[in-house]
Amino acid sequence: MIRLDGLPEAPLAAAAHFHALVVPVLEAENAPVVTLVLPEADHTHRAWRAAALGALARALAPARINAVAGGGPQAQARAIAFVEGAPGLTGQLLALDGGAGGEVLD
């Protein structure tokens, strides 16, 4: 699990930061399963996040990479456990709500 805090607020800047600083680490790490924990962001971040995860899933196969975004600690823990226990799941972004139930929004 890799927690990514401190991403820029602007979508383009956040995507540039991710590709410049995070992707090289993921490529070098060679881990069989990676779950990213992203900060909550509005809808303007959805496209770059989904595209980055899809591209990484293809590039890093057979390793699996997924991400959870937003939610509180309990919601994140439940989502991480789900993702890490689903061997066929890769390249997915799970957006979590901020409520106590931690439900997946999309």
Q: What is the pLDDT of residues 73-88, one digit of tens each?
A: 999 999 999 999 999 9
Residue 45: what pLDDT? 97
Token representation of residue 44? 């303007």
Give me the residues paired with residue 66 across strands.
35
For the chain, what are the domain ranges?
31-106
Q: Is the pLDDT at 101 greater than 80, yes or no?
A: no
CA distance 44 to 12: 9
Residue 97: what pLDDT? 84
* DSSP assigned state of 104: B
Q: Is the pLDDT at 102 greater than 50, yes or no?
A: no
Burial status of residue 66 (CB atoms within 10 A of its CB: 0-12, 13-18, 19 or more)? buried
